[in-house]
């Protein structure tokens, strides 16, 4: 059963587990389990995903319950009227605050503007040698993207040399191997924690929060946060 974070007659939000696909995709034919179908069967009605989360990202995933609401919410996302906040555990010590203004290239080669602001919440130094260093350093950041490009946060934190732990595509393979061998952890440490927007029908301000999942919490405990 998927955990429902918010529900009314127009919208429903779940806390998507890490590793769960939002919907069927040609690039992922290794599973027949998807959030869209699971939620549809769970509540017994059609649902429409108004945005996307990477398969390996956990956290808030919002669906509309009718096509008109779906269109209205998608327009809010396109107009940058939705506030999204993510938690990420990254390699190294990040600055207290930072802005990443770095355009990202689409699959067809077109460049798109992409902007992410972040705040460092915690830092940790583990007594585990890594590379030529006697210890390993990590940061917990809250990231706020104002654009919604594919793999934006993963690419942006790689760009500033603080890749997200567990990210196989854009992360640090040596760090991922360390976490797998040392702590048997392969989950990507990226969580969609907060979503706020104006309800498309009632006009009310809506804020949704998603608790972190067990594997993310395990790494948080490991870091002493």
Sign of the CA dihedral 160, 166, 170, 171? positive
Beta bridge partners of 123: 139
Helix (H, G, I), strand (E, B) or coil at 58: strand
16 vs 188: CA distance, rounded Å: 13
10 vs 43: CA distance, rounded Å: 13
Q: C-alpha angle with apex 210: 99 to 53, nearest 5 degrees?
A: 65
Query: Which one of the listed residues 8, 32, 54, 66 is annotated catalytic?
Result: 54
Helix (H, G, I), strand (E, B) or coil at 220: helix
- Write phi, then psi, for 122 (nearest 5 degrees): -150, 160
28 vs 23: CA distance, rounded Å: 10
Helix (H, G, I), strand (E, B) or coil at 84: strand
Q: Which residues have C-beta within 8 Å of that of residue 110, sequence separation ≥ 6?
A: none
Q: Residue 34, Cβ neighbours under 10 Å: how many?
A: 18
Mark whether 101 is an active-site residue: no
Among residues 147, 6, 135, 127, the alpha carbon closest in space to that of 80 is found at 147
Residues with a known catalytic role = 54
């Amino acid at each position: 059963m998927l955990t429902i974070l918010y529900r009314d007659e127009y919208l429903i939000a779940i806390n998507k587990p890490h590793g769960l696909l939002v919907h069927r995709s040609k690039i992922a034919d290794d599973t027949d389990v998807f959030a869209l179908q699971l939620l549809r069967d769970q509540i017994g009605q059609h649902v429409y995903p108004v945005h996307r989360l990477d398969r390996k990202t956990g956290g808030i995933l919002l669906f509309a319950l009718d096509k008109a609401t779906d269109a209205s919410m998608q327009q809010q996302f396109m107009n940058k009227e939705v506030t999204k906040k993510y938690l990420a555990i990254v390699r190294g010590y990040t600055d207290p605050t930072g802005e990443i203004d770095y355009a990202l290239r689409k699959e067809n080669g077109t460049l798109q503007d992409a902007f992410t602001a972040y705040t460092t919440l915690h830092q940790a130094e583990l007594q585990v040698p890594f590379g030529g260093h006697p210890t390993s350093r990590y940061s917990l950041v809250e990231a706020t993207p104002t654009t919604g490009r594919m793999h934006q946060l993963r690419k942006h934190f790689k760009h500033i040399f603080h890749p997200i732990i567990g990210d196989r595509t854009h992360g640090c393979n040596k760090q991922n191997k360390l976490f797998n061998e040392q702590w048997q952890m392969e989950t990507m440490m990226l969580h969609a924690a907060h979503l706020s927007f104006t309800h498309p029908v009632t006009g009310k301000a809506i804020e949704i929060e998603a608790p972190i999942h067990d594997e993310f919490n395990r790494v948080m405990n490991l870091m002493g946060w």
